Structure 1
Amino acid sequence: MATRIVVILLICILSFPIYQGRQEEKKALTKRTISIYDAKCRKFSGFRSYTEGDVKMCLSYRQGFKNYTDARADCASVNSRLAVIKTWEKFQIVVPFVNAWIGLDDLETEGTFKWADGSVLDDHLKSRIFYPGEPNAYYPQENCVCQRCWTYFDKLCDTLCYLAKHYLCEKVI
């Protein structure tokens, strides 16, 4: 009986480094898997990967000032689009960026906000990501949306498309 216990203990002791090694290998593989997205994003000049929970975005915060149309064209010139933030997690990613155009407007139909990918803004998300009272079309041509149009706002506002602002380009990976 004592011999069996010794043998079992020896097996356990000798197996632990193998188990531990596999755990280390698993961690390394997980890190490599996670970093594939980051590596793909980094290969584009000026773009960086941002994460909120399990959600990632490949963004470039353009600090030059452009109106909405020119910002959209500049993003397209580097095979990207103005940022589409159709989830709460994506909104959390863009919160720190100040005075920046995103890919949302009601240029086609007043009051119907569409993302740069052509989809319509969800009403539930709209109530969460816009500053209270926005969008309001205060001026007749407030058809474009910016993130933190003024530094004291932490949400979205509709504003005049001809205003010069920073902008967020997004690479879809």
Structure 2
Amino acid sequence: MWCSELHVARRGVIMALLLWLVFIFNIPTACCDIRQAYMKQTTGQECQTLQIGESWSSGSALECYRECAVRFPDSCQSIVYTTDNQSCTPGSAAFRPLENVDTSIPVTGSNGMIFYKQQPIPPCNTNGSFSLYNVCGTTACLYLSSSVADYHEAVSICSGMNSRMFFGNTLARFSVFWEISLKYLKDQTWIGLNDLDDEDTYVWENGEPLSDQMAQWVFRPGYPNDYTGRNDEDCAEARHRSWPGIYGLNDAICWYKKLYMCEPFDAYGAK
């Protein structure tokens, strides 16, 4: 037990030292090469996080981040720091503000600033059909379709590219899906989520069940609603063209044709 605690403490100290070096040498983060970026500062209008522990008082954002790394060596992915009262709040991986997530911080318009870590960059052959996309520190290797396909066809096409349909099983990944599909595809877009095997039990393309909490966060309020009443709306989509300005997924008939996004198998969970 003592050795395990010492190992955790060492990881926290090492992470804190790395963060100190990032601040001291001012590693570029706002532009340029995302592979060089370690952390970035922005407001709640751009990126938010979920609080993972109690707030405390810190003399500076640097001190706040270093303490967060020591207290939460495995889960401190961001901090929210408010200069006015020197409040430091530890956070999860950052994500683009999502309308249904009402517990995210910093609140838009508040004085709190968010400092977030750049998550590991996944392996990606950008010489082919895939490109890297970054949203609030989370990077995904994606193929964006230029033609439509039904859900099963999209799964098959992705598989033929040694990939699978992109899924948003965390807020950080879902915000990548929402931001990229809205910005680049601008149309109805499949996401790797369905209840084909068991009605009303949605599962991500990696086999992970959709939790009740995530369902509230990613679906449009009141959805999935099986609009046809025939239990045949089994696949999830973003309806950017039909629902302009409206946030949240819809449940749709799987043989309808829509755009989609693929992610290489080895790109998920990159370390």
TM norm. shorter chain > 0.5: yes
Tell me, yes or no, if the aligned pair for 1:99 and 1:151 is still in contact at 8 Å: no
Indicate whether 1:126 and 2:209 are aligned.
no
Tell me, yes or no, if the aligned pair for 2:121 and 2:140 is still in contact at 8 Å: no
Q: 1:66 to 1:88 in 2, by over 3 A?
A: same
Higher strand residue share = 1
Indicate whether 1:137 and 2:220 are aligned.
no
Which consecutive unaligned segments of at least 5 residues does structure 1 have?
1-21
CA distance in 2, matches of 1:151, 1:136: 16
Tell me, yes or no, if the aligned pair for 2:192 and 2:236 is still in contact at 8 Å: yes
Higher helix residue share = 1
CA distance in 2, matches of 1:157, 1:32: 35
CA distance in 2, matches of 1:43, 1:93: 18
Which consecutive unaligned segments of at least 5 residues does structure 2 have?
1-23, 39-117, 182-186
Following superposition of structure 1 onto structure 2, how do residues 102-117 of structure 1 map, counting pairs within 5 Å?
102-117=191-206
CA distance in 2, matches of 1:48, 1:123: 32
Secondary structure of the residue aligned to 1:37 is coil
Q: Pick from 145, 156, 163: which aligns with 2:256?
A: 163
In the alignment, which residue of structure 1 is the partner of 2:173?
90
Following superposition of structure 1 onto structure 2, how do residues 1-173 of structure 1 map, counting pairs within 5 Å?
23=25, 31=36, 37=121, 40-43=123-126, 45-96=128-179, 97=181, 98-139=187-228, 140=230, 141-148=232-239, 150-152=242-244, 153-171=246-264, 172-173=266-267
TM-score by length of 2: 0.49
Q: 1:67 to 1:162 in 2, by over 3 A?
A: same
Bigger radius of gyration among the two:
1
Q: 1:44 to 1:121 in 2, by over 3 A?
A: farther
CA distance in 2, matches of 1:90, 1:23: 29
Shift in Å at residue 60 of structure 1? 1.4
2:236 partner letter: V
Q: Which range is displaced more, 82-91 or 106-115?
A: 82-91
CA distance in 2, matches of 1:105, 1:160: 10
Larger RCO of the pair (alpha carbons < 8 Å, separation 6+): 1
Shift in Å at residue 44 of structure 1? 5.6
2:168 partner letter: I
1:164 partner letter: K
Structure 1, residues 129-164: CA drift from partner, whole Å, max 9, x if none? Answer: 111111111122100111236342332111000101
Aligned residues: 148
Q: Which range is displaced more, 43-52 or 85-94?
A: 43-52
Secondary structure of the residue aligned to 1:74 is helix
Secondary structure of the residue aligned to 1:63 is coil
Q: 1:44 to 1:76 in 2, by over 3 A?
A: farther
Tell me, yes or no, if the aligned pair for 1:94 and 1:147 is still in contact at 8 Å: no
1:37 partner letter: I
Q: CA RMSD in A?
A: 2.5
TM-score by length of 1: 0.75
